[in-house]
Chain A
């Protein structure tokens, strides 16, 4: 079986090369159909976006360092807040998870590549154009999007700067990219598994991504519908979000959050998957409660469709609606709790060691749970009246997003780095990166709970004097955290260039098909469907 993979050279546009290896130079990256190349593109792209979005966060934190207007004017501040949120969500976190999916899914299910490799390349290459389009709006007359990442009408329609039209098309493009990406992931998972890998033997990262992909396919089109209605309200005189013509601005929020709430779980379910690989590996003990982990993810995904209006408790819904959304939101704590408890039980009686991926994974569990607790507090409608649109909310979602989603991505990069590059990163530097990040993230976001409870609204460039201390601490933390990501960059580049060679099973406790491949993994992962040994199965 030397030719089990047809590399399409029969009618290739580039002559015939029989080695199946990558092309040379730029062409490799522009034209690639290889899941690893595309995964790499996604990951570097999202890293660049993290830096751009992070710099915007630093602009915010610099302005908020002290009361008074110092560095930017309020109009620009709003553009920073908006673009920071948009870039982090759509540019940093989501593409990073898709990048991980590209790298890992084929290896974990025992496939040579993704199911639809050319479309895979398209999904990626749409993104730089979409974000180029969105970032270019910052230089347009009237400025870029300034209406918050939630772009509530009519601030984002009748009262928006002209650049909103570009923003709308950029969102359409990102949506198309996500939908194609998810279709690809679903087809890969359902269709390309090695013989013997039944659904309930799939690694959890595969499971969580399968469910995430369904969420994406179900809600990205709804977001597309929402921005389309905006487009028509702005340019064609419709009145979807205008009461004067029989519409309702609040309808925008319903449609947005029908997308938006599942969206936040899109940013956390793959993280759950990652952590469910790392903790057992370093506890040297099988994952506790595999089945219930799968069911919990499925329940969270289901519930995510019926809780959206917890973002809208103050819009004045009828009482029955408020109660329904409060109860359904609270229910999410149960399956999420099951996950937290199962991770704890996996560590219990283990034989733990604390390499960098494990440190990030443990920090994930602890800090995500803190963010989950504040989420539960927000779910209590009467209390949410006091929390809503204050920094308490900002603290909540940064706890689930930064030491949540972002930490899980960082943990994944450290964990699979040897598999991707065939090299080991520098453990000391990795640990330094962890401790700096851990301190930075808490110093940044913990005080925000207090400023929120004291009454500081979000999305403001200037604040009353009683909030000054917390904001100063928070700004200092932000710079520590930002600086520590430079350390991350250093560790990665150093590892790629000077790292020591890694073993096939780089971590002795790691389980899964990907660890049966050599490090670095071959260009086409499994040229022949592998046999799935019981020892490599998680449950």
Chain B
């Protein structure tokens, strides 16, 4: 008898200990209606499984303890019972039906797209996200890239890791509270997946194909997730950060960005000095190129070539610009013409031609890029 009690005690302990720590150990409830529904669904099936486990393992351990040969138990010789077999076919079936009903309801609710207040295009790149705010006709109004902001020395254990280690970006996606936001999700190169756990939404970003998602968030705040589909070397380093702003705050920010957009347009026709180009180029390089070609330009041969003293960076300028605009087909070198504007491209090419001891001695202005990209 003592044995039995202690066994039950251990079993209960095993089950309840994790639940006592539920906050750290369990799925979070999240901040949207959908994520709440998913959480409830998760808890329902978890409890069903635990109950099932208690019954099955309970019977099993009872017999392990009592029907032992060392305890002198003689084996019975029955080997079948249609009644029992039917019971344990039908009862689980009913349980499954009971699980399927709320699951179906939640799924249908999740597929209720349409009626959106605004649309954002989410595009995955190796290894960053691009967000574009679309107008009612699905034209791009403005957009930006969102890249990991955690410094390399934290990753390399050379300095202490910050609170949001690996879950912080330079530009977070911003959306307003209480509006239905529709996301159009796609990718440029390989498959990525966009996930914000607190919204209860996750969808693959597939090159050449489009997926939709939507959410309505009531709580302002910063919500963090990650790319969840293996997408190559830096798959672990492309976080998703969404900043949910109060509606008024969002609208003000949005208007400001629209104004900035026209300033950006003007920069395309300006002429810059060598120093201005180097400064801006270094910034662009750091954000877009350094992950492969490394901050010192040495690359990671043989896969990612060095940019120091190579024929491209010392050769004709236009070839260099074209290579960066069009990328190299079939390699990880992307067509940056689609990601960067002419001002950024001009600056980064200029920078590459004059950094790390390179000295091409020429100058690359935004308009040189515009000419080559045929705009």
Within 8 A of B (CB), among A265-322: 283-292, 314-316, 319, 322
Give the docked Cα–Cα distance between A383 and B39 (Å): 8
Instruction: Please determine whether B209 and A248 come into contact, CB atoms closer than 8 angstroms.
Output: yes
Nearest to A461 among chain B residues (CB) is B236
Contact of B76 among A285, A366, A458, A460 (CB under 8 A): A285
Instruction: Please determine whether A154 and B207 come into contact, CB atoms closer than 8 angstroms.
Output: yes
With known contacts A315-B206, A376-B45, A457-B227, A289–B237 Cβ distance under 8 A: no
Instruction: Please determine whether B228 and A389 come into contact, CB atoms closer than 8 angstroms.
Output: yes
With known contacts A155-B231, A243-B209, A383–B42 Cβ distance under 8 A: yes
Instruction: Please determine whether A249 and B209 come into contact, CB atoms closer than 8 angstroms.
Output: yes
With known contacts A155-B190, A351-B69, A453-B25, A141–B209 Cβ distance under 8 A: no
Q: Assess whether B352 is interfacial by the CB under 8 Å rule.
A: no
Instruction: Please determine whether B24 and A450 come into contact, CB atoms closer than 8 angstroms.
Output: yes
Instruction: Please determine whether A463 and B78 come into contact, CB atoms closer than 8 angstroms.
Output: no
Contact of B59 among A67, A161, A348 (CB under 8 A): A348
Give the docked Cα–Cα distance between A285 and B197 (Å): 50
Give the docked Cα–Cα distance between A366 and B56 (Å): 9
CB distance from A536 to the nearest CB of B (A): 15
With known contacts A249-B209, A385-B202, A465-B163, A334–B41 Cβ distance under 8 A: no
Instruction: Please determine whether B206 and A319 come into contact, CB atoms closer than 8 angstroms.
Output: no
Contact of B88 among A159, A286, A337, A353 (CB under 8 A): A337
B-side contacts of A249, CB under 8 Å? 191, 206-209
With known contacts A67-B165, A453-B27, A347–B64 Cβ distance under 8 A: yes
Number of interface residues of B (CB under 8 A): 96
B-side contacts of A388, CB under 8 Å? 193, 202, 228
Q: Assess whether A373 is interfacial by the CB under 8 Å rule.
A: yes
Nearest to A69 among chain B residues (CB) is B155
With known contacts A289-B80, A344-B56, A369-B56, A460–B235 Cβ distance under 8 A: yes
Instruction: Please determine whether B302 and A68 come into contact, CB atoms closer than 8 angstroms.
Output: no
A-side contacts of B229, CB under 8 Å? 152, 389
Instruction: Please determine whether B234 and A323 come into contact, CB atoms closer than 8 angstroms.
Output: no
Contact of A351 among B68, B202, B211 (CB under 8 A): B68
Q: Assess whether B315 is interfacial by the CB under 8 Å rule.
A: no
Q: Assess whether B157 is interfacial by the CB under 8 Å rule.
A: yes
A-side contacts of B232, CB under 8 Å? 78, 146, 155, 159
Q: Mark B60-99, 1 if CB is under 8 A from A, else 0.
A: 1001100111100111111111001100110011001001
Q: Mark B311-347, 1 if CB is under 8 A from A, else 0.
A: 0000000000000000000101000000000000000
B-side contacts of A381, CB under 8 Å? 103, 107
Give the docked Cα–Cα distance between A316 and B235 (Å): 21
Give the docked Cα–Cα distance between A414 and B237 (Å): 45
Nearest to A452 among chain B residues (CB) is B27
CB distance from A480 to the nearest CB of B (A): 19
Number of interface residues of A (CB under 8 A): 94
Instruction: Please determine whether B74 and A351 come into contact, CB atoms closer than 8 angstroms.
Output: yes
Nearest to A289 among chain B residues (CB) is B80
Contact of B104 among A161, A288, A290, A323 (CB under 8 A): A323
Give the docked Cα–Cα distance between A370 and B64 (Å): 18
Instruction: Please determine whether A344 and B78 come into contact, CB atoms closer than 8 angstroms.
Output: no
Q: Assess whether B161 is interfacial by the CB under 8 Å rule.
A: yes
CB distance from B115 to the nearest CB of A (A): 17
Q: Assess whether B355 is interfacial by the CB under 8 Å rule.
A: no
Q: Assess whether A483 is interfacial by the CB under 8 Å rule.
A: no
Q: Assess whether B141 is interfacial by the CB under 8 Å rule.
A: no
B-side contacts of A369, CB under 8 Å? 53, 56-57
A-side contacts of B64, CB under 8 Å? 347, 352, 362
Instruction: Please determine whether B88 and A338 come into contact, CB atoms closer than 8 angstroms.
Output: yes
B-side contacts of A314, CB under 8 Å? 193, 202-204
A-side contacts of B70, CB under 8 Å? 353
Q: Assess whether A464 is interfacial by the CB under 8 Å rule.
A: yes
Give the docked Cα–Cα distance between A390 and B166 (Å): 16
Nearest to B49 among chain A residues (CB) is A373
Instruction: Please determine whether B206 and A250 come into contact, CB atoms closer than 8 angstroms.
Output: yes
Q: Assess whether A520 is interfacial by the CB under 8 Å rule.
A: no
Instruction: Please determine whether B41 and A383 come into contact, CB atoms closer than 8 angstroms.
Output: yes
Contact of A344 among B59, B100, B212 (CB under 8 A): B59
Instruction: Please determine whether A326 and B100 come into contact, CB atoms closer than 8 angstroms.
Output: yes
Q: Assess whether B281 is interfacial by the CB under 8 Å rule.
A: no
30 pairs of residues in contact across A and B, judged by CB atoms under 8 Å: A68-B161, A74-B236, A155-B231, A159-B232, A249-B209, A284-B69, A284-B75, A285-B77, A286-B77, A288-B78, A288-B79, A330-B100, A334-B92, A338-B89, A345-B84, A349-B78, A351-B73, A352-B64, A352-B69, A362-B60, A374-B49, A382-B41, A454-B27, A460-B235, A461-B236, A462-B155, A463-B166, A464-B164, A464-B166, A466-B24
Binding site for B on A (CB under 8 A): 67-70, 74-75, 78, 141-143, 146-148, 152, 154-155, 158-159, 161, 242-244, 248-250, 283-292, 314-316, 319, 322-323, 326-327, 330-331, 333-334, 337-338, 340-341, 344-345, 347-354, 362, 365-366, 369-370, 373-374, 376-377, 380-383, 385-386, 388-390, 450, 453-455, 457-466, 539
Binding site for A on B (CB under 8 A): 18, 24-28, 37-38, 41-42, 45-46, 49, 52-53, 56-57, 59-60, 63-64, 67-70, 73-81, 84-85, 88-89, 92-93, 96, 99-100, 103-104, 106-108, 110-111, 126, 154-157, 161, 163-167, 185, 189-191, 193, 195, 197, 200-204, 206-209, 211-212, 225-237, 302-303, 330, 332
